[in-house]
């Protein structure tokens, strides 16, 4: 059973719009969350990480974490066509041999 669920599977937003992506872990031992971005034909690159309850903002990207519900969300404002990519959520549990569990990803398309 997939322990990290991402939604939606795919998302289309207009250029300049807001994209909101969700991720929930079913593993109560999870402490750390990451968002990776993978452009087509490329390898994943870490976008943002969040380990504490609350919100973290970096430029156009904001990530939220609710540790009680093990839910994190990524919001991209003023979306650009270059943001079109697969967004992967990963979660790691303390003492888990450093092994993150990845979700299946959300495929984002930003159309001009």
Whole-angstrom distance, CA of residue 62 vs CA of residue 109: 18
Work out which of 22, 49, 71, 75 binds other proteins, going by CB under 8 A: 49
Question: Do 8 and 106 form a contact (C-beta atoms < 8 A)?
Answer: yes
The one segment of 13-21, 57-65, 66-74, 83-91 that binds other proteins by CB under 8 A:
83-91
Asked if residue 12 binds other proteins (CB under 8 A), the reply is no
The one segment of 13-21, 26-34, 55-63, 69-77 that binds other proteins by CB under 8 A:
26-34
Question: Do 102 and 3 form a contact (C-beta atoms < 8 A)?
Answer: no
Q: In the complex with other proteins, which residue's Cβ is closer, 41 or 112?
A: 41
Beta strand 85-93 pairing with 106-111: antiparallel
């Amino acid at each position: 059973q997939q322990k990290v669920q991402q939604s939606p599977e795919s998302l289309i937003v207009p250029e300049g719009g807001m994209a909101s992506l969700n991720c929930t872990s079913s593993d109560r031992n999870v402490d750390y969350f990451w968002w990776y971005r993978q452009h087509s034909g490329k390898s994943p690159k870490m976008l943002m990480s969040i380990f504490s309850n609350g919100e973290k903002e970096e430029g156009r990207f904001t990530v939220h974490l609710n540790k009680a519900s093990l839910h994190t969300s990524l919001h991209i404002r003023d979306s650009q066509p270059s943001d079109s990519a697969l967004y992967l959520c990963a979660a790691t549990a303390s003492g888990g041999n450093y092994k993150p569990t990845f979700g299946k990803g959300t495929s984002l398309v930003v159309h001009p």
